[in-house]
Amino acid sequence: MRMFCYQCQEAAKGTGCTIKGVCGKPEEVANLQDLMIYTLKGISVVAQEGAKADIKFKKADHYTMNGLFMTITNANFDDAMFIEKIKEGLALREEMKKELSDKGVVLNDLHDTATWSAESDAAIKAKADSVGVGVLATENEDVRSLRELIIYGVKGMAAYAEHAYNLGKENDEIYRFIAKALVATLDDTLSADELVALTLETGKYGVDVMALLDGANTGAYGNPEITEVNIGVRNNPAVLISGHDLKDLEQLLKQTQGSGVDVYTHGEMLPAHYYPAFKKYDNFVGNYGNAWWKQKEEFETFNGPILFTTNCIVPPKAEHIERIYTTGATGYPGCKVIVADEKGVKDFSEVIEHAKRLSAPTEIETGKIVGGFAHAQVFALADKVVEAVKSGAIKKFFVMAGCDGRMKSRDYYTEFAAKLPKDTVILTAGCAKYRYNKLNLGDIAGIPRVLDAGQCNDSYSLAVIALKLKEVFELNDINELPIAYNIAWYEQKAVIVLLALLYLGVKNIKLGPTLPVFLSPNVAKILVETFGINGINNVDEDLEQFLG
């Protein structure tokens, strides 16, 4: 087997990608991503030794966060970037070891992750391809399953931590946990029960990181508010910005002011329109297109340059590469990378000048979509919502947060939303919303039937809303609320969102369109028995089960 990856919902044949990723990730990149994780484990081993002696390595915290983020599905396909990053990691690890030994800390019997070295790019590639680095190095399938579940959780955690960090917000406890979790995945003495406990603890830090990011986003840009977002176009050249990083968007908007270049959002950047701080930019026109997987066609008609701030990148057509720019953790061979200076400032002038040489976007749809129902906005409507529940006008809420993806089986979510009774409301977040946010499902006493809280991390808002309703209705258990969970997942941010919901005590979540293949039968059994997690069936039967 040349590669093995089973971290996302599209893993080949329901077992794992072994020749090339369904996502387009080639074998070399898959193996380098494994080595990236391997390197991060080694750095965490050394960082843990430091922590015992009260010595902190801030640089390692940030390096680990970014390295994890780079390995998320569809974030980075650039083998050269991984090689450079791994070299940087090896140098950092040795620097950390030297500092520890200078301070009298004795480092004995370190794991291979913390001792291996490579003198050349070829040696790094050889190490990446070697047995013992990747997922299958753990032979027991249950231990492997739990270890990977934890690793995918911390990947999602790292992504959210990095967005918060970009806005100047950090939480050292999250970094400590990430290091602890990575080291735990090397520990052969841990029992399955201990790994299950660590999985739940991952969920706890998942809640913390989403709260941190929520505070960072709302602190910088205000609380999301009800907003109509234009989905049509204007006649100016434009930049399309995709991904999840609001700081990148802010810098782009500032730099495009007065340039004659418009800015549109794509995919997960749509919720940026809900923040008050971005409303002052009169060139921030609207959202172009749909979820990530439709980007090939949509980039064709957009005509202008595209800036990726995070996942999800689909390997572009060759003729689009020269107008695709990446930044942050993202990368794709041949695409230009915009790097921040030491103060975090990014110069997007090249992207803006590029836009001026190209045509305005071609219109693919017209109209508006409504969103902005994060916790503060919903609390502002609390009286109305509570009244609608008490009067029976709203019978049930359906949390349908998560990811979208290209599989045909995801039509389920469109059909499910369309068939929901008229006295139900969908609470959504993440790119899953594109499956039903243009269906015009109407409203209940002025409350739209699709309430979009924002990006996938804003699932935190949905949890805050649920906890608030529990308080208002004086219930003992979050599961007594008239809220059902039918969540769609694709990549590792959805894993941390799921673990966070489990940590908060949410039971009976339906997870689809398929259950993660990285859950071994025994681990899946634990999740089913302890939390009632179950897969989707067909829409009619599932509706019956939810409403019956």
The closest of 275, 288, 278, 272 to 256, measured between CA atoms, is 278
The closest of 456, 227, 264, 261 to 364, measured between CA atoms, is 264
C-beta closer to ligand SF4: residue 11 or 498? 11
> Among 456, 498, 502, 526, which residue sits at the site for ligand SF3 (rule: CB under 6 A)?
456
**405 binds ligand SF4 per the rule CB under 6 A:** no
Site string for ligand SF3, 66-85 (x = CB under 6 A): --------x-----------
Out of ligand SF4, ligand SF3, none, what residue 312 binds, judged by CB under 5 to 8 A for its kind, is ligand SF3
* Cβ at position 29, least distance to ligand SF4 in Å: 9
312 is in an annotated binding site: yes
**156 binds ligand SF3 per the rule CB under 6 A:** no
Cα 229 → chain centroid = 22
Return the residues of window 45-74 that contact ligand SF4 according to CB under 6 A.
73
Peptide bond connecting 312 to the previous residue in cis, omega within 30 degrees of 0: yes
How many beta carbons lie within 10 A of that of residue 99, not counting itself?
14
C-beta closer to ligand SF3: residue 44 or 311? 311
* Cβ at position 242, least distance to ligand SF3 in Å: 8
C-beta closer to ligand SF3: residue 394 or 426? 426
Q: Which stretch binds ligand SF4 (CB under 6 A): 23-31, 240-248, 454-462, 503-511?
A: 23-31
> Among 2, 6, 82, 460, which residue sits at the site for ligand SF4 (rule: CB under 6 A)?
6
Cα 281 → chain centroid = 26
Amino acid at 210: M
Beta strands in 192-333, from DSSP E residues, in sequence order: 227-230, 238-242, 262-265, 284-287, 306-308, 324-327
C-beta closer to ligand SF4: residue 2 or 56? 2
- Report residue 240: phi and psi, to 5°: -105, 125
Residues 366, 421: contact at Cβ < 8 Å? no
| Beta strands 483-488 and 424-428, pairing class | unpaired
> Among 134, 237, 430, 513, which residue sits at the site for ligand SF3 (rule: CB under 6 A)?
430
DSSP string, 297-349: HHHHHH-S-EEESSS-PPPPPGGGGGGEEEETT-B-TTSEEE---TTS----H
**337 binds ligand SF4 per the rule CB under 6 A:** no
5 is in an annotated binding site: yes
* Cβ at position 363, least distance to ligand SF4 in Å: 32
335 is in an annotated binding site: no
Return the residues of window 166-195 that contact ligand SF4 according to CB under 6 A.
none
**25 binds ligand SF4 per the rule CB under 6 A:** yes
**29 binds ligand SF4 per the rule CB under 6 A:** no
**494 binds ligand SF3 per the rule CB under 6 A:** yes
| Length of the chain in terms of residues written | 548
Instruction: Tell me how far apart the alpha carbons of residues 403 and 418 are, in angstroms, rounded to a whole number.
Output: 18
3-state helix, strand, coil in the chain (%, to 5): 50, 10, 35
Out of ligand SF3, ligand SF4, none, what residue 272 binds, judged by CB under 5 to 8 A for its kind, is none
Residues 336, 326: contact at Cβ < 8 Å? yes
How many beta carbons lie within 10 A of that of residue 30, not counting itself?
27
Return the residues of window 309-328 that contact ligand SF3 according to CB under 6 A.
311-312
How many beta carbons lie within 10 A of that of residue 424, not counting itself?
20
Return the residues of window 263-282 that contact ligand SF3 according to CB under 6 A.
267-268
| Beta strands 534-535 and 510-512, pairing class | parallel
Handedness of CA 4, 431, 317, 256 (dihedral sign): negative
Out of ligand SF3, ligand SF4, none, what residue 267 binds, judged by CB under 5 to 8 A for its kind, is ligand SF3
**455 binds ligand SF3 per the rule CB under 6 A:** yes
Out of ligand SF4, ligand SF3, none, what residue 268 binds, judged by CB under 5 to 8 A for its kind, is ligand SF3
Residues 535, 514: contact at Cβ < 8 Å? yes
Residue numbers in the known binding site are 5, 8, 17, 23, 244, 268, 312, 403, 431, 456, 491, 493
Residue numbers in the known binding site for [4Fe-4S] cluster are 5, 8, 17, 23
User: What residues make contact with ligand SF3 under the rule CB under 6 A?
Assistant: 74, 244, 267-268, 292, 311-312, 403, 430-431, 455-456, 490-491, 493-494
User: What residues make contact with ligand SF4 under the rule CB under 6 A?
Assistant: 5-8, 10-12, 17, 21-23, 25, 30, 73
